[in-house]
Structure 1
Amino acid sequence: MLPKQWSKVFAQQQKAWLRHAAPELVSSLLGWWTRHGRHGLPWRLLPGGRQPGPDDLLPAYPIWVAEVMLQQTQLTVALPFWHRWWSRFPDLESLAAASRQDVLHCWQGLGYYARARRLHGVATDLVAAGRPLPTDRAGLEQLPGIGRTTAAAIAATAGNSPDPILDGNVRRLLARLLAFPAPPRQATPLLWTMVELLLGGRGARDFNQALMDLGALVCRSHTPLCHRCPWRLPCRAYSQGIQHQLPVRQALAPIPHVMVGVGIVLDHQGKVLIGQRQPDGLLGGLWEFPGGKQEPGETMADTVVRELQEEVGLTVAVGPELLCFDHAYTHRRLTFAVHLCHVTAGEARPVANNQQIAWVWPHDLHHYPSPAANARMIQALQEHLAGT
């Protein structure tokens, strides 16, 4: 972390420089974006596919959905999910009328399912109250899961408001432009001031998109393409030859590793048992095979037996391992050991009051929204059944 007094001097120097350099920086940025930016994003277009002018308004709903998706993944990944969502829920009313399971199924594969639940909840509340989706930053920031950057991105794209953003791309751009000698998140207020100085109170629709495109296409995290950058000459990191060393990265805590035992239980008809997770927790509302974390001193078979008893009230005999694989989340890494099982006693029942379970034909499992890890288990099960 920068010494406090040195930080103050650094901030004053950078602000003074940026006030002087901002007009040329913005001009070169927008000139580059006009030639090389991503202009065909469907939520940024007028009906008929026309590019909006400075005074044109765009509907906020498709932008809101896109920006929530882009909170967690890159544009190339999010775009097909956005098209799938748009074809299924083209407006606030259709989203509000949908079931939660339909919403989760449409989101399946994108991860961070709480965001889909929040989109659905907001739509339901707004439609019930007869209110439209807000289009100003202050109103958008009142919605669950919407912070300053996402609210600014929506407001500026919809109405060309003077609301800059500060996402990961912009933090990286500014850290290199200013040769910032500490992790950018240690200077969030300063970076907000910097991006506001750059924008200078003008409409931010094209400015925000140009910043995101420059960060995504040129000023990339590990391999910046400085020879293509319109900010190469004024960039402090480039002039010092330290662009690959910036931004300074925050020291990360070790990622915990968890062993998980999973039981795939088939009944005498050939149906398989799945359970639905609690609606508002991690991966809430999704369906999965029962299982859980291995406790100290347990074998994996012990874990599966205990979890099936605790989760669905079944006593099972644990059969052969179907597959074992690693799956990474943002803050932890899991190893799944998946076993075929058969019931020796008991009748499947949900233990929690608001939990659901179901016996499902294996070929119908795709109708139930499930976590990404479950897809590998389903594929392995179907391949096993096809070979028996």
Structure 2
Amino acid sequence: MTPEQIRHSLLSWYDAHARDLPWRTGPAAGQVGVRSDPYRVWLSEVMLQQTTVPHAAPYFLKFTARWPTVSDLAAAPDDEVMAAWAGLGYYARARNLLACARAVANDHGGVFPDTEAVLRALPGLGPYTAAAVAAIAFDEATNVVDGNVERVMARLFAVETPLPAAKPELKALAAALVRDGRSGDWAQALMDLGATICRPKSPLCDRCPLTAACAGLASGAPETYPRKTAKAARPHRHGVAYILTRGEEVALVRRPPKGLLGGMLGLPTSDWRPAPWSDADALAQAPASAERGAGEVEHVFTHFSLTLRLLRADGEAEGLIWTARRDLDALPSVFLKAARAGLSNLL
């Protein structure tokens, strides 16, 4: 198949099978080629980084109901946005979200720039997000390449170079298929094909519109693409979290603005380090007199896994934020998990 035949086949498939997503206009809504609201495109793309569609969709609906425009979001207090983001993870995204919204509101009159180059200059917008907003919202012929698109290219052209070294090659192959016209639909068609048909495991090749062109399928083992370099073992860290209660209230702290979970509320903790904490060291860092152990929890971040030992502590201490137990659901998942485990052991 020629590039033009590949585009025609995939866009025809997309017109019939596009996913119906809350941030999307297009074929699923009977609006072929209709452009989407750049605010909704941008917000969805930020939320979908390292997050699945089913998990992100409820957050997207809540955000757009509460802050329907980028200017509304820009005017929101940091604490409210960070609390609304809790549970989506990767909290640097929420800080970048606010920085970008405020730049659009303050420097661009509340209107998103309509080219990839200017979008790229906004804080927190990497190459992929800028290309996606430019294509989907403004129909610019940009090269939108995420993990789904990389997988489609690797299989379509049977790329033998393993990831991550293959990324430039895969991006170049995708760029060769970009054309003027229906740029947003093309980008979303590739994403949908990767998400629903050309899946990481058990690809549904019998339903794919590009089987005639797929070198990976012709090899007899399309699921083995993209080739991957063996991953290094994820390091493990240890920490101590302190469960300090006062009646029906639990003590929290505000984490430093930068770093992992920066600016979020969380339980008081020790540092997180490679070696387990001794009893003496764990007690020495307690915000109040520690009474007894309350178990431990395990949590996995992108770059390391964590064992949090839980210690029950009681009494007053300075610099704490007392929060009702019923309001703990807004905590990041690692602290919510630890709080639930520690409090359940107190019943």
| Structure 1 contact 44–51 (Cα < 8 Å) conserved | no
Q: Which secondary structure does the structure 1 equivalent of 2:114 belong to?
A: coil
Q: Which runs of 5+ in 1 are unaligned?
A: 1-19, 309-313, 351-356
Percent identical: 34
Deviations 1:119-142 (A, max 9, x none): 112222332345322221111111
Q: What code does the residue aligned with 1:41 have?
A: L
Q: Which secondary structure does the structure 2 equivalent of 1:336 belong to?
A: strand
Question: Does 2:87 align with 1:109?
Answer: yes
Tell me the residue number matched to 2:314.
Answer: 342
Separation of aligned partners in 1, 2:209 and 2:275: 56
Q: CA offset at residue 360 of structure 1?
A: 2.6
Using a 3 Å threshold, how does the CA distance of structure 1 residues 336 and 21 change in structure 2: closer, same or farther?
A: same
Question: Does 2:204 align with 1:225?
Answer: yes
Deviations 1:103-134 (A, max 9, x none): 01111111111111111122223323453222
Question: Does 2:147 align with 1:168?
Answer: yes
Aligned ranges 1:153-232 → 2 under 5 Å: 153-232=132-211
| Structure 1 contact 262–338 (Cα < 8 Å) conserved | yes
Pairing partner for 1:317 from 290, 294, 309: 290
Using a 3 Å threshold, how does the CA distance of structure 1 residues 261 and 196 change in structure 2: closer, same or farther?
A: same
Aligned ranges 1:1-388 → 2 under 5 Å: 21-38=2-19, 40-45=20-25, 51-54=30-33, 56-129=34-107, 131=109, 132-267=111-246, 269=247, 271-292=249-270, 293=272, 296=275, 298-299=277-278, 301-308=279-286, 314-321=287-294, 323-343=295-315, 348-350=317-319, 357-366=320-329, 369-384=330-345, 387=347
Deviations 1:319-376 (A, max 9, x none): 132x322111111001122121234xxx6234xxxxxx3123323434xx42101222
| Structure 2 contact 299–307 (Cα < 8 Å) conserved | yes
Using a 3 Å threshold, how does the CA distance of structure 1 residues 58 and 294 change in structure 2: closer, same or farther?
A: closer
Using a 3 Å threshold, how does the CA distance of structure 1 residues 373 and 164 change in structure 2: closer, same or farther?
A: same
Separation of aligned partners in 2, 1:44 and 1:27: 21
Q: CA offset at residue 171 of structure 1?
A: 0.7
Separation of aligned partners in 1, 2:29 and 2:249: 51
Q: CA offset at residue 272 of structure 1?
A: 2.4
TM-score normalized by structure 1?
0.82
Separation of aligned partners in 1, 2:103 and 2:7: 40
Q: Which secondary structure does the structure 2 equivalent of 1:273 belong to?
A: strand
Q: What code does the residue aligned with 1:374 have?
A: F
Tell me the residue number matched to 1:17.
Answer: none
TM-score normalized by structure 2?
0.91
Q: What code does the residue aligned with 1:338 have?
A: L
Greater C-alpha radius of gyration: 1
Separation of aligned partners in 1, 2:96 and 2:276: 39
Separation of aligned partners in 2, 1:161 and 1:255: 39
Q: What code does the residue aligned with 2:318 have?
A: R
Separation of aligned partners in 1, 2:276 and 2:150: 45
Deviations 1:151-188 (A, max 9, x none): 11111111211112111111111111111111243233
Matched residue count: 344
Q: CA offset at residue 298 of structure 1?
A: 3.8
Tell me the residue number matched to 1:353.
Answer: none
